[in-house]
Structure 1
Amino acid sequence: MRTLVAPGRSRTGYAFALVITTIVVTVVFVLPLLWVVLSAMKPAAELARVPPTVLPLTWQPETYVEAWRLMDLGRYFLNTIVVAVGTWAVQLAVDVPAAYALSRLKPVLGKGILGMMLLTLMMPAAVLLVPTYLTVADLGLLNNPVALWLLGAANAFTVFLLKRFFDQLPVEVLEAAKIDGAGQLTLLWRVVLPLSRPILAVVSIFAVVAAWKDFIWPLLVFSDPARQTLSVALQRFAPDTPVNLMLAGLVLASAPVVGLFLVFQRHVLAGLTAGGVKG
């Protein structure tokens, strides 16, 4: 932003450019969300009007209640919560020890192992769908949330973020704990994890949001409609559901993750910047 205003110019010009940029960015991100929220409260006939109305001419907030009842969203919310919470728990249980081992235990070929993990991020997800599905089918995990938990367990990006944070932890604190007789498990549980709350909050939010909005993998795993997640269920209802009810369902499905980010956005920013500067 400072490059938009030449050095030596008045602070007023810099403040003006900052305000304008902030307004533009806010409108770009917030306007589509606000449009969907308001459109869900319009009658279906009004949604088809040309030109479209910005505010509903006839307000129908009860559309949200009707969408919840008609599509039985409570069932699919519960299914999605089970998938998201399980994925989060399994991912932390696998990735935290892996990142700690790569950061502090310095295994042989540790850099090569991390490099191979990061290489998996370059592979298109579609390439892995068929072999992963066949593996899950052979294990008898179809229509079972464990299939989604296991898929999210080993996440190379999460391991990388955690390792980078663990690398920046003060060595003096860890050495003092070792002198007091703490083993590696005690050191991880009682020292490293309490110091790592910012980055744990970040990877937790990433894990929950990714599991909440995932579509392709739940679509393949859950052939039983009663076990499907929100993203899959809403797609199944779309052809036979009025547009305003569909929009209401989309808003309700998105509200938890949007609220989660708004509540923990400070932790996300702190976690992403923590450990970036030594000293």
Structure 2
Amino acid sequence: MSKEARSGATRTLISPVRLNQPAGRRTYRIVLVLTLVMATIVFIGPLYWMATGGFKSPQELVRTPPTLFPESPGTHAFTEAWDRLGMAQLLLNTVVYAGGALLLQLVFCVAAAYSLSKLRPVFGNVILGMMLASMMIPAAALVIPQYLTVLDLPLVHWNLMNTPWVIWLPTVANAFNIFLLKRFFDSIPDELLDAASIDGAGPVRVLWSVVLPLSRPILGVVSIFGLVAVWKDFLWPLITVPAHETLNVGVNTAATSMPQNTLIAGLFLASLPTIVLFLVFQRNIMAGLTAGSLKG
């Protein structure tokens, strides 16, 4: 047994001695492959069923046992879902809501995280603790207070119903994103900021020229979280923007008057942008999740 294995520095489910044997390596690889295949089926299965369901007829879709592949694939359900649901307008509404929320989140969450991490205001730890404590409150418990607030915005007394601001404002203060950004900003050496300050850069210039270029991975992660949160939200858009529905609300509203295969096709079209977004930026997402230190 190697010195590392005896010391217990590396612990695995299978001992290094067993892995060094042909039978042990073969068993390990078989178990690993089976685990990965099962996990892939569990996660990809519902997406595959939704994607192929739009190509089936209503009779084939409800057949028992279900068919794995469409017998007579057709795109009629997708075109019907696009036309009957008004997917173009629903998609535009959702993009406006998600894009505006993302922009405001980046501005305010970055400013808050930078202040807590590098400017270190008085009672900064208390403020951060209160932010994190707010994450323990269920989202459903905040619906009524938020609704009453947007009906009559304090001080200015504006009614924000059926405006993009009713979606944008509640998403600005995101404690989780602020926490992620602060942890990353903490890992940036203060020497870099001090050097920029000696050259005459103020706090805003340091943030723009030094901190943000180094923070691209975590900014990508926060952007994905912000977009997906608005994109998948259902309850809040349902009660606040009934005149300008999002994709989720529009598909749900028309669910009772559409064939099942058309509904599934609409659901797939509604989820397709976020799937594509993840596939395109998955490397950036994983890099941002594992980023936490800088090499000297």
Give CA deviations for 1:10-52 in whole Å, capped at 9, x if unaligned.
Answer: 3333333322221111111111100111111100111121222
What are the Cα deviations for residues 181-235 of structure 1, in whole angstroms up to 9, with x where unaligned?
A: 11000000111000000000000000000100100110110122xx110011111
Asked if 2 retains the 8 angstrom alpha-carbon contact of 1:4 and 1:17, the reply is: no
Query: Counterparts of 1:110 and 1:12 in 2: how far apart (Å)?
Result: 54
Where does residue 15 of structure 2 map in the other structure? 6
Name structure 2 gaps, 5 residues minimum: 1-10, 20-24, 153-157
Question: Which residue is equivalent to 2:103?
Answer: 89
Q: Pairwise mapping of residues 175-190 of structure 1 onto structure 2 (< 5 A)?
A: 175-190=194-209
Q: Which residue number in structure 2 is paired with residue 266 of structure 1?
A: 283
Alignment-derived partner of residue 271 in structure 2:
254
The alignment's TM-score, normalised by the length of structure 2, stands at 0.90
User: How far apart are residue 277 of structure 1 and its match?
Assistant: 8.0
The amino acid across from 1:15 in the alignment is: R
For the pair shown, the structure with the greater C-alpha radius of gyration is 2
Aligned mates of 1:93, 1:110 — CA distance in 2: 19
Q: Which amino acid aligns with 1:35?
A: W
TM-score by length of 1: 0.95
1:191 aligned partner, one-letter code: V
Cα 1:17–1:5 change in 2 (3 A) is farther
How far off is 1:107 after superposition? Answer: 0.8
Structure 1 spans left out of the alignment, 5+ residues: none
What is the RMSD computed on CA atoms of the aligned residues? 1.4
Q: Distance in 1 between matches of 2:34 and 2:200?
A: 57
Alignment of 1:221 onto 2:235 = no
Q: How does 1:165-180 map to 2 (within 5 A)?
A: 165-180=184-199
Q: Percent identity?
A: 52
Aligned counterpart, 1:118 = 132
Structure 2 counterpart of 1:35? 49
Give the one of 199, 202, 211 matched to 2:221. Answer: 202
Deviations 1:154-181 (A, max 9, x none): 0000000000000001222211111111
Residue 271 of structure 1, CA deviation: 0.6
Q: Deviations over 1:33-85 (max 9, x none)?
A: 00111111100111121222111122112321221112111000000000000
Q: 1:220 to 1:97 in 2, by over 3 A?
A: same
Could you tell me which of 206, 210, 222 is aligned with 1:191? 210
Query: By how many angstroms is 1:5 displaced?
Result: 2.6
In 1, Cα distance between the equivalents of 2:295 and 2:265?
A: 47
CA contact (8 A) 2:101 2:168 kept: yes
Does residue 53 (structure 1) correspond to residue 67 (structure 2)? The answer is: yes
Separation in 1, partners of 2:295, 2:14: 30
Return closer, same or farther for 1:278/1:191 CA change in 2, 3 Å cut-off: closer
| Count of paired positions | 276
More displaced, 58-67 or 186-195? 58-67
Extract structure 1 runs of 4+ deviating beyond 6 A: none
Bigger CA drift: 215-224 or 79-88? 215-224
Greater alpha carbon shift after TM alignment, 58-67 vs 188-197: 58-67
Q: Report deviation, 1:266.
A: 0.8
For the 8 Å contact 1:234–1:249, the answer to whether it is kept is yes
CA distance in 1, matches of 2:151, 2:129: 30
Give distance in 1, aligned partners of 2:237 and 2:75.
31
CA contact (8 A) 2:184 2:292 kept: yes
Residue type of the partner of 1:206?
A: F
Asked if the contact 2:188/2:294 (under 8 Å) is kept, the reply is no
Q: Which letter maps to 1:9?
A: R
